[in-house]
Structure 1
Amino acid sequence: MSDQYSSSSSSHTEEEEEETEEEEMKATPPSMTKLSSTLHAVIRIKQKYETLKKRRQEMAMVMSSLTGAPTRASPKIFTFDTTTAAPPLSSPVCQRKKKKRKRRVLYPERRRRHHRAPRREYSPAECCLCLLSAIVFFQVYNAIENLDDHVLRYDLEGLEKTLRREVFGQQGALEDLLSQLNDYLSTYVHNKPLVLSLHGPSGVGKSHLGRLLAGHFRSVVGEPLVLQYYVLHHCPQDANAPQCARDLHALISAMVEQAEEQEKIPLLVFDEVEHMQGDLLDVLHNLVASKQSNQFLNAVYVFLSNLGHQHITKHVLHNISTATSCCNGNPLRALTPVLRKSLEELHALWTQADILSMGLLEKSHVMQCFLEEMTQEGFYPDRTHVERLASEVEYYPTAGGREYSVTGCKQVVAKVNLL
């Protein structure tokens, strides 16, 4: 319906415009015809434009009255009007919707931001803690290094090689002995001296072990700090026991004082302790007690005797089947409580000592003793000859397929000298 109305109105408008042009042409005075054709065309265009403008305003008002839409003012572009009335303030032109400007997002200052973690305050205690930790670390490291250096001074690795090469059939006792020495010699400050008491039957290598220990310590700490005391040689008569005790006390005091000055640990080896008089045992007991002054606490005492050899012999012969399955391969460790009890009944000295037992030697060990002695004397080590000499030694009755020597290697030196 609206399309039909618009088409009819447009056709009617064109007819009216043509009629208007014809009337204007008739109403034009004769003077105007004399103007140039260009000026005449301009005037006609202006008049035609004003007519069209009026028609269009009338049509717009009719359309707005029908549809209810606000009238739209014609644009002022390309017009020849000199003066135009300003639109009222309530006109649609002034009622344009203003674009909403986005508000600028303002971030708070850095010191007012709450999403960031608060700044960590500086504490001088942290530096002190780090410094203390570093000091403790270096102290512990230095202590460990000093322990290693102190052990290296005594060359316990060389001592172990010598003992394993020279002493036969006493692996369990050697392991306990080296372990005790390594623990004690790893530091210089102690609360008691190291007292080792080695016991075993005759000929098992006690005196030989004492000589090897003394020789090794002479090479590492010097001759003045090593004492080998043979009771039957230094104090053979019982009447001289009190004087021997005083002399022994003075000798040990001088040794430990010299060792204190040199910061070394002396070695004192006492052989044939079973022949010691009571006065000598009392002096030694007072010296090894922990109530002594510092210089007496830094010393190693080694006592060698055959005390308790009956218990050792009986234990070895009656426990052959468990010789390698008990106490980490050393069955004599189970005998230590019994042996300690019998020794403490003899004297209180053994309450301060660590008991180490040396067992019987087998026939193979005796053959090794013959082979070692013949090599040192310059004899050719013929195995047949060695077996013949080893068979001349007295043995206990065979038990469990093993032969244990009664005298150990005691007769080896005498038989080799007869060759």
Structure 2
Amino acid sequence: MNLTYRHLVLCVSVAGVLVNAFDPFTTTVFVGVGAALGRTIYRYFQESCNAEWIAFNATGLHADLELKLFGQHIASRIVLKAVSGFMSNNNPKKPLVLSLHGWTGTGKNLMSKLIAENIYKEGMDSSFVHVFTSELHFPHAQQIETYKSELQRWIKGNITNCAQSMFIFDEMDKMHPGLIDSIKPYLDYYDKLDGVSYRKAIFIFLSNAGGIDIIETALEFWRDGRQREEIQLKDLETSLSLSVFNNKQSGLWHTSLIDKNLVDFFVPFLPLEYKHVVLCAMAEMKAKGTEPDQSVADQVAKDLVYFPKTERVFSVKGCKTVESKLDYYT
């Protein structure tokens, strides 16, 4: 249907005039037509849980990962394959559960955004994408039981509304241990729970937990003179899952999600080097609609703090402060 807003408003106006001009019997007919037209207009402008609004773009995700996410060859490969496989499966056995780990500013939030933008027409603004931040939504430890019941009710209600919903849990390292276990049944291999199927939903956990282990591995490769691109998932996955599971400061501490193997992939995000910060700055300038300037990008990258202190290999804050730095230099 190729209706513009002006056309739709005109149709409604005409229908209203005709309704007022006809006798009661004919009016009933036009009221029915008007109601049907109203539903059409509503569907045209209101986001709906159908292929018009939810359609995975594998090519788009691949291109976005290449052009917008830097220094994350492991994370890009895992996520592209995991999401592509899941979205192409019309009958998945369980929801897709991704746990993204790494130091601040390495791209975990950006990755979530890119996934959403290539599944939902409205991206992160979609009414089917739900973001929970620990310190905002679950701030008080003494209210954990209330949070559990509210979280269960929220997820069940939203998946009932749209099976292909996405739930992003940020700051998992600040979440109260035990809270996330309340949604374990929704992530398990069940056909339905109380008449609701959760198998087409996507759950993404973002956490700094495990970041130290990832950094140590990256530093080990660097000190051995090996390229970071040589680092593989097998070099990190086991130690990462164990580190997260045994970290008392993590919302995934001793969680049954890990114990029962319900997390499909632990996705490591490597610390970023100087060259990656430069690329972030160039990409940010392009996103702002300004011509990328190499000298400005270099200046922004030079101003950041790097570690270890003597070698200055990795950015302490990754690309997190690049945007604000650019505002200063441009």
Q: Normalization by structure 2: what TM-score?
A: 0.71
What residue number does 1:356 align with? 267
1:234-383 aligned at under 5 Å gives the runs 234-260=137-163, 265-291=164-190, 293=192, 295-320=197-222, 321-323=225-227, 329-345=230-246, 346=253, 347-350=255-258, 351-353=261-263, 354-377=265-288, 380-383=291-294
Count matched residues: 261
Secondary structure in structure 2 of the residue aligned to 1:418: helix
Q: Which amino acid aligns with 2:58?
A: L
Q: Distance in 1 between matches of 2:149 and 2:190?
A: 19
Does residue 406 of the first structure (1) align with residue 310 of the second (2)?
A: no
Secondary structure in structure 2 of the residue aligned to 1:217: coil
What residue number does 1:23 align with? none
1:73-222 aligned at under 5 Å gives the runs 153-219=55-121
Q: Distance in 2 between matches of 1:299 and 1:203?
A: 26
Secondary structure in structure 2 of the residue aligned to 1:278: coil
Secondary structure in structure 1 of the residue aligned to 2:83: helix
1:398, CA displacement in angstroms? 8.6
Q: Which amino acid aligns with 2:239?
A: V
1:161, CA displacement in angstroms? 1.3
1:198, CA displacement in angstroms? 0.8
Q: Which amino acid aligns with 1:309?
A: G
1:301, CA displacement in angstroms? 0.9
Q: Distance in 2 between matches of 1:219 and 1:377?
A: 21
1:358, CA displacement in angstroms? 0.7
Q: Distance in 2 between matches of 1:360 and 1:154?
A: 29
1:224-235 aligned at under 5 Å gives the runs 224-235=127-138
Contact 1:333 1:357 in 2 (8 A): no
Q: Which moved more, 1:212-221 or 1:389-398?
A: 212-221
1:379, CA displacement in angstroms? 5.1
Percent of paired sites with the same residue: 26
Secondary structure in structure 2 of the residue aligned to 1:269: strand
Q: Distance in 2 between matches of 1:384 and 1:245?
A: 50
Q: Distance in 2 between matches of 1:231 and 1:397?
A: 30
Q: Deviations over 1:215-240 (max 9, x none)?
A: 33331799332212222222223333
1:397, CA displacement in angstroms? 4.1
1:388, CA displacement in angstroms? 1.8
Secondary structure in structure 2 of the residue aligned to 1:311: helix
Contact 2:306 2:312 in 1 (8 A): no
Q: Normalization by structure 1: what TM-score?
A: 0.57
Q: Distance in 2 between matches of 1:217 and 1:251?
A: 21
Contact 1:164 1:171 in 2 (8 A): no
What residue number does 1:66 align with? none
Does residue 384 of the first structure (1) align with residue 298 of the second (2)?
A: no
Contact 1:336 1:355 in 2 (8 A): yes
Q: Distance in 1 between matches of 2:75 and 2:92?
A: 24
Q: Which amino acid aligns with 2:62?
A: E
Q: Which amino acid aligns with 1:270?
A: F
What residue number does 1:67 align with? none
The structure that is helix-richer by fraction is 1
1:204, CA displacement in angstroms? 0.5
Q: Distance in 2 between matches of 1:379 and 1:223?
A: 28
Q: Which moved more, 1:207-216 or 1:407-416?
A: 207-216
Report the CA distance shift for 1:154/1:381 in structure 2 as closer, same or farther (over 3 A): closer
Contact 1:242 1:279 in 2 (8 A): no
Over alpha carbons, which structure has the higher Rg?
1
Contact 2:221 2:228 in 1 (8 A): no
Unpaired segments ≥5 residues, structure 1: 1-148
Q: Distance in 1 between matches of 2:66 and 2:144?
A: 37
Q: Distance in 2 between matches of 1:344 and 1:313?
A: 18
Q: Deviations over 1:322-365 (max 9, x none)?
A: 4357xxx4434311111112223322223311211110111111
1:404, CA displacement in angstroms? 1.9
Report the CA distance shift for 1:336/1:172 in structure 2 as closer, same or farther (over 3 A): same
Q: Which amino acid aligns with 1:247?
A: E
1:38-77 aligned at under 5 Å gives the runs none
Q: Which amino acid aligns with 1:251?
A: W
